[in-house]
Structure 1
Amino acid sequence: MVAVPAKTEIGLSQHRDYFSVNARYDKVRKKPEYRHRRCIVPATAFVESQDGKHPHLLEPADGRAFAFGGIHKEWMVKVSGEFVHSASIITLPGIKPLENIHLKSVPMWLSEDADEKWLSLGVTDTVGLDYFLELALRCDLKATPIDKTFRKTPVGKFFTIPTLN
C-alpha cells in the first residue's frame, strides 16, 4: 500500500503494514483487497529506472492517460483514530520492450474495456481476473531520459517504444 504518514505524539510516521507503493502480481491473489477492493489508478506518465540510475519518463505516445490496476485499503491510525485510505499499483514482471529501462517490473495496464469487470464488487473469484495479470504493453510509449525522478528535466532526446503485437 502507499506509504501514508500517520500522526503520532512525536510527528508523522508511516504504518509498516502499508508501506509499498506496488503490489506484486505473484502475491496479490492472496490479498483480500484483490478480491474485494480493486481500483483504477489513472496516470499520464510514470518514471522507471534501473537501480535508480538513468531514469526515464514514460508516457503514452498518443497523449492519452494510463489506467493502472490497483488495490486499495482503508485503515485506522491507532494513535489518532483517524481513517486513512491507501492504494497500491499492481506490478507485473519486466517486459522485453522496457528491459533497457527497467528489468524488474511494470505497472499493470488495464485495457480500455476493463473497468466494469475490474471494479465489479460482485467479482470475488479472482480466477476470472487472471487475464488482467498477463503482460501487455497496451500503447506505444514515449520514453524521455530525465535527470532525476522528482525533477523530470529531460537530459536526452525521447524515443518511442512500440506496442507488442
Structure 2
Amino acid sequence: MCGRLNVTDNPLLTELLEQLGIHLYPASASNDAAPEQLALHLPVRTGRFIRATNLVSIVLQQDGQRRLQDAIWWLLLEQTEQGFKPGPYTSFNTRSDKLHVRGSAGFQAYRQQRCIIPASGFGETEIVQGISRYTDFIGQRALAFSGLYRTWLNKSTGELTYSCSIITLAPHQKLLAFHSKAMPMMLPPSAFDLWLDPDSNINQFNELLQPKIYTALQAIPINKPSLYQPIGNEVAIEAD
C-alpha cells in the first residue's frame, strides 16, 4: 500500500463508526446507549488525500471503552524539542509476515495495541516501465483497515502522542493489475470486536491475515493524487 487514504464525511462513514461503537453525535446513539457512549468524540479527520505522516483518526479500545483518537500515520516516531515526529524508517505500513518477528516494529503492538482505521478508500502507485501509475479505490461501503498503534510519552510535558500503521497482506488476485506488491488488510464487521479487544488471542486472526476483499471497490485511474483527474475507465472490483 502506497500511503494515501480517502476519508469522506458521509453516511457510509458514519454507519461504519456506529458499527464500531463510535457515536459522533448523541442524537445518533440508541436510546439504551450507556452514558459514556453518548459523549462527543474528537471529529473524524477527513480528506480526499491523506498521506503517510499525516494525522488520521483511529478507533481503539482501552479499559473496555472505545474512542476515536488522533494518531500520526507512521508507527515509529522520534522525539524532538517540539514533541514527536515520524522516524527515519518507513513504518506507515506493517507487513503481515513481520508480525511474528521479535524486535520488529509491530510485534508487540499486534499483540496488545490493535486499532481500526476507518476510510472511504485508498490509493496505490505502480511503477510500469519507469512511469508511476496511480489508482484510487473507493469502497461501496466504508472500509475498516486493520491497524496497529503505539504511544509515545513526552517526559518533559507529560503529553502522550499516538502513532499507527496499516497492516499489509500479500497481493490479492483481483488487485494485481493495479498494485502487484501488497494490499491493505481490511476487516469484516464480524471481526471488529475480536480485533479491538486487547485480550484477544492472536491465533484467532490467522484467517483474517489472508488477502480478502470484503467490500466491493471502484478502481479509478488518476493522473496524480494531488490533482485527482480521472484518466481512464473505472473498473468495478467485486467483493469476495
Shared fold (TM-score greater than 0.5)? yes
Matching residue of 1:14: 86
Counterpart of 1:99 in structure 2 is 176
Q: Does residue 133 in structure 1 map to residue 209 in structure 2?
A: yes
Scaled by the length of structure 2, the TM-score of the pair is 0.59
Contact 2:135–2:219 (CA under 8 A) maintained in structure 1: yes
* 1:1-165 equivalences in 2 (<5 Å): 2-3=73-74, 8=80, 13-16=85-88, 19-30=90-101, 31-51=107-127, 53-60=132-139, 62=140, 64-76=141-153, 82-123=159-200, 125-164=201-240
Which is further off, 71-80 or 28-37? 71-80
Unmatched 5+ stretches in structure 2: 1-71, 102-106
Note the C-alpha offset of 1:117: 0.6
Kept in 2, the 8 Å contact 1:8–1:79? The answer is: no
TM-score under structure 1 normalisation?
Answer: 0.84
**One-letter amino acid of the counterpart of residue 115, structure 2:** C
Alpha-carbon separation, structure 2, partners of 1:10 and 1:67: 32
Is the CA contact (8 Å cut-off) linking 1:43 and 1:65 kept in structure 2?
A: yes
SS of aligned partner of 2:186: coil
Q: What is the CA–CA distance in structure 2 between the aligned matches of 1:39 and 1:151, rounded to whole Å? A: 31
Distance, in Å, in 2 between the alignment partners of 1:72 and 1:10 is 21
Shift in CA distance, 3/88, structure 1 to aligned 2, threshold 3 Å: closer
* Counterpart secondary structure, 2:212: coil
Identity %: 31
CA distance in structure 1 between the partners assigned to 2:185 and 2:237 by the alignment: 17
SS at match of 2:211: coil
Distance across 2 between alignment mates of 1:106 and 1:78 = 37
2:40 paired residue number: none
The separation in 2 between residues aligned to 1:126 and 1:134, in whole angstroms, is: 14
Q: SS of the residue aligned with 2:97? A: helix
Q: CA deviation at 1:6?
A: 6.2
Q: Which runs of 4+ in 1 moved over 6 A?
A: 4-7, 78-81
Deviation at 1:163, TM superposition (A): 2.5
The amino acid of 2:167's aligned partner reads I
Question: How big is the alpha-carbon RMSD for the aligned residues of Structure 1 and Structure 2?
Answer: 2.6
Q: Secondary structure at the match of 2:215?
A: coil
Given the superposition, is the C-alpha separation of residues 156 and 79 from structure 1 closer, same or farther in structure 2, using an over 3 Å criterion? farther
The CA deviation string for residues 3-43 of structure 1, in whole angstroms up to 9 with x for no partner, is 388673599853246x4110100012341100100000101
Q: 1:156 to 1:78 in 2, by over 3 A?
A: farther
Runs (5+) with no aligned partner, structure 1:
none
Cα 1:78/1:138, change in 2 over 3 Å: same
Which structure's relative contact order is higher, taking Cα pairs within 8 Å and 6+ residues apart?
1
Alpha-carbon separation, structure 2, partners of 1:12 and 1:76: 9
